Amino acid sequence: MVSITIVNEEIPARRRGMLYAIVQAGWPLGVLLASAVYLLFIGEGWRFVFLLGIMPMILVIVGRFYIRESDRFRHLEEVRAAHGAGDEASVQDLLGRYDVDVAALRATTVGQLLTQAGQVRRQLVLLSAVWLAFGTSIAATNIFITDFLTRVKGFTPAQAGLLLVCAGIACCSTCWAAGSASAGVAARS
């Protein structure tokens, strides 16, 4: 979710479609890479394959330290600080860059969102449930596809892995094509 927010806040509208497509291609790219790693290294044993799976997690953790806050977030923090200090001249000057609802500046916590009945709480609970179901289904699907192919359809593990590599390539290509089409539409509007 952070990557989509950064794309939305930092990237010009004409380039967002392609970058959204790149973000969305993360799942099929992960399937592609995991299947390729399996095909290349399964001879080393499943423990070695799982050990290689730790490398992307380490890259994400390290990379997170280099992602800066968006300009809009930093601007909101500046407005919040000036408003908190009672410096209305600075607040008015800052509002010339981005519009901010100064009356709604107080920090809202997740606890406050959950304790106050209303549309925001309903949306938060609904989206949390949907993301949990989505994440669970993707993990289960990846496991069951391979199991189905090998036990029911008679594929060898290598054939199932190769099929998933091909599916990953097809999905990444589709994401790229959709992003290119989206960028073309954005450029014309």
CB atoms within 10 A of CB 48: 13
CB of 18 closer than 8 Å to CB of 184: no
Any idea which residue has 């953790």 for tokens?
A: 61
Residue-level length of the chain: 189
* Distance of alpha carbon 110 from alpha carbon 128, whole angstroms: 12
C-alpha–C-alpha distance, residues 46 and 52, integer Å? 10
What total number of domains does the chain contain? 1
The pTM is what? Answer: 0.61
CA–CA gap between residue 48 and residue 86 (Å, rounded): 59
pLDDT in tens, the chain (189 residues): 567 777 777 777 777 778 878 888 887 888 888 889 988 998 898 889 888 889 888 998 998 888 888 888 888 889 989 988 989 899 889 888 888 888 777 766 777 777 878 887 888 888 888 888 877 777 777 778 888 999 999 999 899 989 988 988 998 888 888 888 876 665 565
At 77, which amino acid appears? E
Q: Rounded to an integer, what distance in angstroms lies between the CA atom of residue 71 and that of residue 68?
A: 9
Range of the domain at 149: 2-188
Q: Does an H or E element contain 188, and which? A: helix 157-188
Phi-psi region of 156 (alpha: psi -120 to 50; beta: other; left: phi over 0): beta
